[in-house]
Structure 1
Amino acid sequence: MIKAETFRGRTVAVFGLGRTGVTAALSLAAGGATVWAWDDNADSREAAEAQGVTLKDLKTADWLQVDDFVLSPGVPHHLPKPHWSAKKAKAANVPVICDIEILAREVAARAERQRPKIIAITGTNGKSTTTSLIGHILKSCGKDAQIGGNIGRGVLDLDRMHSGTYYVIELSSYQLERTQSLRANAAIFLNLSPDHLDRHGTLENYGLAKQAIFVNQTHEDTAVIGVDDDYGKALCTQMKVKNGRSIVPVSARRSLGHGVSVLGGKLFCNMSRKAHEICDLQEAKALEGRHNWQNAAAAYAAVSSLGLDAREIGEAILSFPGLAHRMETVGTLRNVRFVNDSKATNADAARQALASYENIFWIAGGVAKEGGIEPLADLFGNVRTAYLIGEAADDFGATLDESKKKWHDKKTLQMALLCATKDALESGVENPIVLLSPACASFDQFKNFEVRGDAFRTQVETLMGIETSDVPAPQEEEAA
């Protein structure tokens, strides 16, 4: 754990005692701060207290004694409606921060030679894959790489920092809007598409929150920008005009006169006068699809900017095992391949899988984001049949009807998987894919996308343990 010594002697309120909140409270206390921690959920309070967190009811606390307020990233301080704790903080003029800001201050307080290298990653889609890939590359190259933030461990739970450490941090817009001091040696902005607009209000505000990843960089640092979408192209142009740092555009769609790109499946670096081939991404089984090629380009650009050997980076990219719940092959039954893409919680994320496969038996649904699956209509030709679950089933079905695409409302993931498997086995098509790519949040039926993906994997493993001839014909369930 990292001790938050820059907060020594201060009184810090912490609301939200999940993974990052508990770690923040313990880090602050270890660093010498007085911590007042609270959560609306009694079970969360009890669990935090059992881990050594000091509780104090923030509803009745004297906020005039509070110096800083650490608010869980998932709890709104502005839109769509500020949480009661955020209102109290605002009334007492207490700044709202998150655990990323605490880490940033701890790093800045160290002498330059004692600071870790920080690689920060944001974007609407691809953050987790890129973050995990960078961590894998660094470890493969013999570096002490710690991965955290919006993925895995909370940043204050990372191992002790030293000059040889690399912190690889995935950052959401929720975290970035409460972070002011972070300086990333390499910062990656992958892409931007409409998401979380209930929280940010407009796409412009959402984009500005993401751009905070670049704010404190200097001429010694590197900004990596995906230019395969219009927003990224414009952002790259704007930042080149401002200058002040090394800017590396990355693309999986076109050749770049300066930058890192993928052509014909091969990764090229062109940072001087001649393009050099790094590796053939068609050999990277865990990086299927053009979107993953852009992720690989971004990872290469960031890591190479820190001085690592190009050949070693290329070899590490090819050995990447992949990310759970993101286009993850979890099994095969006869010629049917099962792919877990549970992390696709919006249409733009689901687009990546739908564009990467053909003969898809598609399981989708849950709690839909704005726009539903209408933006995916151009890819419905890759779908043989859709099996819809959860709250979004009726709306998704109506969209599929407009495209004259066959679909069934199966209510639950288990029934959808059974039906999709039976249909795929009997389809007679070459290499059918049973794909869980929900294009939805999971909260109507599952705690989070990880639990949803784990349920899919477990159910697939159960099917694989049954003789193919004994796979039961799905019966209409009581809720169907």
Structure 2
Amino acid sequence: MTPVTVFAGKTLALFGLGGSGLATARALVAGGAKVACWDDNQASRDKAAAEGLSVVDLASADWVGFAAFVLSPGVPLTHPAPHWTVEKARAANVPVIGDIELFFLERAKIAPAAPVVCITGTNGKSTTTALIAHVLEAAGRDVQMGGNIGTAVLALEPPALDRIHVVECSTFQIDLAPSIKPTVGIQMNLTPDHLDRHGTFEAYGAIKERLVAASDIAVIGVDDEPSKQMARRRAASGKPLVKISGEQPLDEGVFAGVTANAGQLDTRIVEVKDGKPRVVANLAGIGSLRGSHNAQNAAAAFAACAALGLTAEQIAAGFKSYPGLKHRMEELGRIGRVVFINDSKATNADSTEKALTSFREIFWILGGKAKEGGIESLRRYFPNIARAYLIGAASDTFAATFDDDGRVTYERSGMLDVAVAAATKAALAQQGTGEIAVLLSPACASYDQFPNFEVRGDAFRALVKALPGFEAVER
């Protein structure tokens, strides 16, 4: 835990008693503050009270006495309308902040030079966060990883000069952190997302840019135009900038170069300094980093770790031992040349696109609760699909897309267990010598059949592990 001492002796209001909210309340109390906690959910209030936290109905509280208001990032700050607690805080002139802000305020007090890497972007930030933390740990560094991934930031050990914090940040968290100032700030990419919470794409992008604008060293992806503009503005400021790309060569920065080698694609990470390029890592054969999207993730991780003093050799070694994230292009194992990939975290077409570019012969399990647009944007990758297996509520919609296109044969499996059995049987019967993928990449939310993508992915893993002849990948 990181006790938050900057508010010692003061009283704060806190709304949202989920995992990060409880961790924040504990950290504030440990640091000597008084916290008036509230949540609209009775079970959450009861859990907080059972821990000895002070549960106070903020609807009838006197807000004038609060030094600050700590809001859960899952609660609307501005759109579609400010939460009622936000309006009460503003009416009483109480600053509205989040747990990331508390972390940076405490860091400024106890260890202002402590290294912190913050990662944001629309896609790839979780993998990049986990990859950076793994590479640093493999090189013997004391690393704390959390934020929007895994552990709440204030549940981590406190900032220290010999400890590196690697923190994934959502726009919701950045919006509540005016003092955010990472040692290395990473902006991966930018595509429309969460517009219901930010109003416009421009507003969404401006929040992301706050993170890199405040960083000592900014690492910015330049594979999309909005992020490229961020990089231009950062360069104009004269502050340190490392551009990264997963798609194109750069005159300065870190990029991924893809070459054919004996029928396989080798993805090499190239660093360019003072106009001089050198290959610093090769992702060939690293199953947890396959695909063009992971090329950008690896480029970002290299830039960040190099900025923190690691050698190219240390970073490349860390890449080779990276196990990957659960449910995100997770290689479970094989039966012969058939590899089983758990990509349950792909809950929309944009995420599934990354998986479909990673293999050339795919037995694709998809479906669930469809997002707007369905799988229309994935038509260009249909030639990679050997056969599709439809599950869940989206079956009719996706079948209509396949019928209209005419290039994909499919089965209406309905349930995941039926799809796994059918896809495995067909994949094992496929002729040839190359790698074949049985891929769960649903392009859908899970909640028609599963409570969340994690449960869906775990169900897939259990089904695959029970297959005759299955050999799990070693981690």
TM-score w.r.t. the length of structure 1 is 0.90
Task: Give the equivalent residue in structure 2 for 1:376.
Answer: 378
Q: Mapping of 1:228-243 within 5 angstroms?
A: 228-243=223-238
Given that residues 69 and 96 in structure 2 are in contact (C-alpha distance below 8 angstroms), is that contact kept between their aligned partners in structure 1?
A: yes
Q: Which runs of 5+ in 1 are unaligned?
A: 468-480
Task: Give the equivalent residue in structure 2 for 1:251.
Answer: 245
Task: Give the equivalent residue in structure 1 for 2:185.
Answer: 187
Task: Give the equivalent residue in structure 2 for 1:432.
Answer: 436
C-alpha separation in 1, matches of 2:385 and 2:20: 39
C-alpha separation in 2, matches of 1:93 and 1:396: 50
**Change over 3 Å in CA distance of 1:40–1:464 after alignment to 2:** farther
Determine which of 156, 169, 172 is the counterpart of 2:170: 172
Residue 461 in 1 paired to residue 465 in 2?
A: yes
Task: Give the equivalent residue in structure 2 for 1:422.
Answer: 425
Report deviation, 1:426.
3.7
Task: Give the equivalent residue in structure 2 for 1:205.
Answer: 203
**Change over 3 Å in CA distance of 1:382–1:41 after alignment to 2:** same
Task: Give the equivalent residue in structure 1 for 2:44.
Answer: 44
Q: Mapping of 1:30-429 within 5 angstroms?
A: 30-112=30-112, 115-217=113-215, 221-243=216-238, 245-263=239-257, 264=259, 265-404=267-406, 405-428=408-431
Given that residues 16 and 38 in structure 1 are in contact (C-alpha distance below 8 angstroms), is that contact kept between their aligned partners in structure 2?
A: yes
Given that residues 193 and 348 in structure 1 are in contact (C-alpha distance below 8 angstroms), is that contact kept between their aligned partners in structure 2?
A: no
**Change over 3 Å in CA distance of 1:177–1:409 after alignment to 2:** farther
Task: Give the equivalent residue in structure 2 for 1:17.
Answer: 17
Report deviation, 1:297.
0.8
C-alpha separation in 1, matches of 2:178 and 2:332: 40
Given that residues 332 and 341 in structure 2 are in contact (C-alpha distance below 8 angstroms), is that contact kept between their aligned partners in structure 1?
A: yes
Given that residues 410 and 416 in structure 1 are in contact (C-alpha distance below 8 angstroms), is that contact kept between their aligned partners in structure 2?
A: yes
Given that residues 111 and 161 in structure 2 are in contact (C-alpha distance below 8 angstroms), is that contact kept between their aligned partners in structure 1?
A: no
Given that residues 77 and 87 in structure 1 are in contact (C-alpha distance below 8 angstroms), is that contact kept between their aligned partners in structure 2?
A: no
Whichever residue aligns with residue 346 of structure 2, its letter is A
Encode CA deviations 1:142-166: one digit per residue, 9 max, x unaligned.
1111100011110001113211110
**Mean Cα deviation higher: 18-27 or 226-235:** 226-235
Given that residues 4 and 28 in structure 1 are in contact (C-alpha distance below 8 angstroms), is that contact kept between their aligned partners in structure 2?
A: yes
Given that residues 26 and 52 in structure 1 are in contact (C-alpha distance below 8 angstroms), is that contact kept between their aligned partners in structure 2?
A: no
Count residues in correspondence.
Answer: 461
Report deviation, 1:443.
3.3
**Identity across the alignment (%):** 48
**Change over 3 Å in CA distance of 1:42–1:238 after alignment to 2:** same
Tell me the SS of whatever aligns to 2:59.
coil
- 4+ residue segments displaced more than 6 Å: none
Encode CA deviations 1:19-74: one digit per residue, 9 max, x unaligned.
11110010111112111112222222233333343222223323333332222111
C-alpha separation in 1, matches of 2:7 and 2:402: 54
C-alpha separation in 2, matches of 1:6 and 1:282: 48
**Mean Cα deviation higher: 192-201 or 422-431:** 422-431
**Mean Cα deviation higher: 455-464 or 40-49:** 40-49
**Change over 3 Å in CA distance of 1:419–1:279 after alignment to 2:** same
C-alpha separation in 2, matches of 1:461 and 1:149: 31
Whichever residue aligns with residue 32 of structure 1, its letter is G
Q: CA RMSD in A?
A: 2.2
Q: Which runs of 5+ in 2 are unaligned?
A: 260-266
Given that residues 132 and 305 in structure 2 are in contact (C-alpha distance below 8 angstroms), is that contact kept between their aligned partners in structure 1?
A: yes
C-alpha separation in 1, matches of 2:10 and 2:451: 35
Whichever residue aligns with residue 436 of structure 1, its letter is L
TM-score w.r.t. the length of structure 2 is 0.91
**Change over 3 Å in CA distance of 1:301–1:34 after alignment to 2:** same
Encode CA deviations 1:175-198: one digit per residue, 9 max, x unaligned.
111111011111111111122122
